[in-house]
Structure 1
Amino acid sequence: MANNRDDPSLDDLSILLSVLEEGGFRAASKRLGISPSNVSETVSRLEARLGVPLLLRTTRSVMPTESGRSLAERITPLIAETRAALADAASSKGKVSGRLTLNVPGAVVPDVLPPIIDRFLLLHPDVKIELVVENSLVDAIAKGCDAGIRYGEQLAQDMISVPIGPRSQQLALAAAPAYLAARNVPCEPDELLDHDCIRYRLPSGPLLPWELRKGKEAITVDPRARLILSVNSVHTAIIYARLGHGIIRTFRNWLEDDFDAGTLRPVLQDWWPTLDGPRLYYPGRLVPAPLRAFIELVARERPPT
């Protein structure tokens, strides 16, 4: 591969153009605010690097050679475009526009994200949001997303994470009244082994484990899966639970309406574990404007501890 360390810099090429536009070294030096000798040395350095003369110098005038004229014609629009791009980038600091792509688990889609996304879209109408729903433990950034949301995932050292949505969520067990009326209501975790249960399968293959906790006591049970659904099918599983096809384990906040309506009843309520809420994670502190605005909104609307 060619060594580009000695390629002319944008500043050097700009000095050459200034000499041609002003018609001399002294006029160019006044325009640029540098000494005439510095201007002359820069042009000589360019000629030495390229191996061709770029200017014809006399005591009264400076004229471009054929090579100098050809070079100037080709780089003038490029340098102008580069300057415009740099100016646009600098001026966009206070603007929020573009695309924000978030890699999220299905668990945050129904109720954690909607109020945040709704508020964000109202505040920033020039931003387009894309949600990539994925429940596997993936590198969201490597997948081309700006940021990710996960529960309790180990983060790489160069990642930053902040809470998003509730600081904690409780996992609940529930079943339809008709199902519980026809079976013995479980009073201890091991009695779940005698029941039909509705369970989720992770994208990687295994069933989502049932971890229960009472005070400092924790237990994991592996009840019979009468009905198995993808972990993405959380609300479909709740429908089957309402129809009496077994006991379900899912986030309590998803079941509150059913508890209030009596379509589902709590099971083993003393054993419901509480988990840390989801976290938004992203690389480094210098982030695109849409993501920065999203992070700031999350921080402002974060529930109190």
Structure 2
Amino acid sequence: MQIDLGLLNAVIAVAKAGGFREAARAINSNPSRLSDAVRRAEQQLGVRLFNRTTRTVVLTAAGKMLLDRLLPAMNEVESALDAVNKFRDTPAGMLRLNVPVSAVRLVLPAIVPAFLARYPEIKLEIVADSNVVDIFRAGCDAGIRYDEKLEQDMIAVPIGPRRQRFAIAAAPGYLDRQGRPQHPRDLLHHACLRGKYASGVMPEWEFERNGEIVRLQPSGPLIVTVGAAVELAVEAAVAGVGVIQLFEEWLRPHIASGALEPILEPWWTDFPGPYLYYPDRRLVPTPLRAFIDFIREDQQQFFNRGI
């Protein structure tokens, strides 16, 4: 039986992603092209591989059996091609990273330009996603997350500064009108600008001083989904709408300019920096291996500077 390997790759992408639209995003294609590829694969094989509804795309028994046998074989093909890559003078290939928006803004700018300058034949794609996702379903080689969100069976490599802080601030004009909080519980009487995850979970605001820990769910006029929309909350805080809690590095330029005034600074909490994580497997793709080695060099610089 003859079949185009490109069609099989389309089947794998849809099966991993759980849908045509999701798979199209993962491999930079479009849903209609993938749907057509899967249809042609089914025609060539003479069996249905997916049961489709308007809401779901699920493997049939035949599709599951095919994927169970096909994935190890395709992984071997990828490993064989990557083994040849090691003989190149300069590593080449595609590296896709799934990262939170905070890392795009605060961690990667200090790493990516120098990495791409060193490895000009590596193409780097950043998928910004602040929700916890399976990196395989996202079609990525590795992800950046904080330690409490690491998946099992993953190897974790520190990336970026090893300590970060949550800062809390508001516009001076707002504080002149509403007063300056002296204790975290005073925030229950302030307009607070909140963030929540796509899952609907709204994280608490946490504070700590001299062993006293305070956790709050303050309220306010604006709630944004954690991710790109966070910048709207920052602009609202600068405009005097209310109080914001966010990564210190994100708010620092506004604090330095005087647009925001830090409050409750003795109560600010710190936490470990993020990690690059990737599957625990024997063969790591060459572009990912180059990136891992690069950030380990970067971490040595942080260590030398005591960051």
State whether TM-score is above 0.5: yes
1:174·1:249 contact (CA, 8 Å) conserved in 2? yes
Query: Structure 2 matches for 1:116-135, cutoff 5 A?
Result: 116-135=111-130
**Which residue identity lines up with residue 140 of structure 1 in the other structure?**
I
For residues 92 and 188 of structure 1, the distance between their equivalents in structure 2, rounded to whole angstroms, comes to 58
TM-score by length of 2: 0.68
Q: Which amino acid aligns with 1:168?
A: R
2:254 corresponds to 1:258: yes
Pairing of 1:191-210 with structure 2 (within 5 A): 191-210=186-205
Counterparts in 2 of 1:294 and 1:184: CA distance versus 1, 3 Å: same
* Cα pair 1:172 1:272 within 8 Å, conserved: yes
Aligned residue identity for 2:211: K
Q: How many residues align?
A: 221
Q: Match of 2:190, as an amino acid?
A: H
Residues 1:290 and 2:287 aligned together = yes
In structure 1, the gaps of 5 or more residues are 1-84
Contact 1:141 1:148 in 2 (8 A): no
CA change 1:159–1:86 in 2 (3 A) is: closer
Which position in structure 1 is the counterpart of 2:157?
Answer: 162
Aligned to 1:110: 105
Aligned to 1:93: 86
Is 1:247 matched up with 2:247?
Answer: no
SS of 1:301's equivalent in the other structure is: helix
Q: Residues 1-305 of structure 1: matches in 2 within 5 Å?
A: 90-95=83-88, 96-232=91-227, 233-284=229-280, 285-302=282-299, 303-304=302-303, 305=306
- Whichever of the two has the greater Rg, that structure is 1
Please give the secondary structure, in 1, of the residue aligned with 2:86: helix
Letter of the 2:271 partner, please give it: L
TM-score, with length taken from structure 1: 0.69
> After the TM superposition, which parts of structure 1 deviate over 4 Å for at least 4 consecutive aligned residues?
85-90
> What are the Cα deviations for residues 34-91 of structure 1, in whole angstroms up to 9, with x where unaligned?
xxxxxxxxxxxxxxxxxxxxxxxxxxxxxxxxxxxxxxxxxxxxxxxxxxx9996544
CA contact (8 A) 1:175 1:246 kept: yes
* Contact 2:79/2:285 (8 A) holds in 1: no
Identity of aligned residues (%): 44
Query: Can you give the 5+ residue segments of structure 2 that lack an aligned partner in the other structure?
Result: 1-77
Classify the secondary structure of the residue corresponding to 2:195. strand
* Whole-angstrom distance in 1 between the partners of 2:260 and 2:82: 55
CA shift, 1:154, in A, is: 4.6
User: Is the 2:170–2:240 contact (alpha carbons within 8 Å) kept by the matching residues of 1?
Assistant: yes
